[in-house]
A and B are shown apart, each in its own frame.
Chain A
Amino acid sequence: MRPETDRVKTLVLQAPSWPGHRAGQHVDVRLTADDGYQAQRSYSIASAPNGSTVELTVERIDDGEVSPYLTEEAQPGDRVELRGPVGGYFVWSLEPSGAVLLVGGGSGVVPLMAMIRQRAADGDDVPTRLLYSARSIDDVIYRAELEQLAGRGDGFDVVYTLTREQPSEWTGYSRRVDRELLAAIAPDELALTFVCGPTPFVETVAEALVELGHEPSRIKTERFGPTGG
């Protein structure tokens, strides 16, 4: 277990017969209570493929049923059931022939981080930019690792936007991702875009990218969580 932020924790799971996975895929986690009651939820895999190890980064949803258990109750040695990996579309491949844009809102950064880690492990140098929207610097998951990877000079970089509060010397973006922000940071020729986060975020970003002239069929989206509607 690894705390990432106040509300977010990474669980390192050992799955002895794990068949391997591709960055961007997810798993179904099933919990069974003493009386047989069960609940299942899906979580994106945070780790690049690594034998039988599967890392999940989970955000605690206040009135959630499974995330409070995973982030607050579960202890090393506890067991859960995993089904997966699932999903063949929102996945990282070695094919991108040009720049890749990853756009993450909040915990939507998790499957994108698997892709970033995969890219680094493969020694890939395809130009890749992560646009990461978080409420504050303390809500940025994987911050140290992202800094380290961006410092390698292999074509990966990160642009943050902190939407609710910013540190005192912050010179970066401080508003919700909008068309103007995307126009400023998205490469003109995008081979592939992955967008992940809450639905309103994904909807805004995908629509703005299409309006800016990017090809809709090369924009892959994954949406998390309630819509609030």
Chain B
Amino acid sequence: MPIVSRGFKGRRRDDAPPERVPPGQYVTDDFPVLSAGPTPRTPLDEWDFTIVGEVDELHRWTWEEFRALSSETITVDISCVTKWTKLDTDWEGVSVDTLLDGVETAAEYAVAFCDGGYTTNLPLADLTGGRAWIAFGYGGEPLEPEHGGPARLLVPHLYFWKSAKWVRGLRLAATDEPGFWESNGYHIYGDPWQEQRYWGD
């Protein structure tokens, strides 16, 4: 039984259908920025995206090559472990399925690695089947550095720390290696619908 806090009334929104708001979250119209360190700024002529690790060969795209791939626009809800949820966010990106097409691997896990040293780990199954993108546009504009530009991983079905900002590639592996936040107290998988925020959840 949760402890009732005497006198607490709360503020209930009527525009947030409960089936779209994971447990413990509140809906925000804002787009908060959270990160552990300074914002990296990589010039596009130095940017590349690579798929490495347990693969047949290294796969690499320059920015031009990346932007020449077929991309799509999507509208998704996103949930941050710090409790805010933002509904109907518009993104443009390349499906990770497109990038993995033609990559031969027996790996079951991936680590996304990023400028600035950030990493996050996911099962490969959560990056495929139309559930993940490398996003370069937000709200109809190029993705700003503060929000992860030039490109970030976008995995809306997990807590947003898995949607790694400033992503530069995926390292495929046979085992699940905890990334940055996963090594600092946060859940290894991060399903918002099961409130998998921290170790032990």
Contact = CB atoms under 8 A, between A and B. Distances in A.
Interface of A: 28, 30-34, 36-42, 65, 69, 73-75, 78-81, 83, 86-90, 199, 203, 206-207, 209-210, 216-217, 219-221, 223, 225-229
A83 B201 CA distance: 11
B8 A33 contact: yes
Contacts, number: 114
What are the 9 closest A-B residue pairs judged by CB atoms, nearest first? A88-B184, A206-B38, A32-B2, A31-B5, A31-B8, A226-B30, A65-B11, A199-B33, A88-B185
Given A225-B32, A227-B30, A227-B31, 13 more contacts: A28-B197, A31-B8, A32-B2, A32-B3, A38-B10, A40-B24, A78-B6, A78-B7, A87-B185, A199-B32, A207-B39, A223-B35, A228-B30
A30 B31 CA distance: 22
B117 A229 contact: no
A73 B10 CA distance: 12
Contact of B4 (A32, A87, A228): A32
Nearest to B24: A40
Interface string B28-58: 1011111111111000000000000000000
A221 B39 CA distance: 10
Main SS class of interface, B: loop
Nearest to A34: B4
Contacts of A34: 4
Contacts of A221: 35-38
Interface residues of B, number: 37
Main SS class of interface, A: mixed
Contact of A39 (B7, B10, B32): B10
B80 to A, nearest CB: 11
Contacts of B26: 39-40, 65
A103 to B, nearest CB: 12
A117 B6 CA distance: 31
A220 B24 CA distance: 27
A79 B3 contact: yes
B137 interface: no
Contact of B36 (A33, A38, A39, A89): A89
A203 B185 CA distance: 24
B62 interface: no
B184 A89 contact: yes
Given A32-B2, A88-B184, A89-B184, A223 B32 contact: yes
Contacts of A89: 36, 180-181, 184
14 contacts: A32-B5, A32-B8, A39-B26, A69-B8, A78-B7, A80-B5, A86-B198, A89-B181, A89-B184, A199-B32, A209-B38, A221-B38, A227-B33, A229-B31
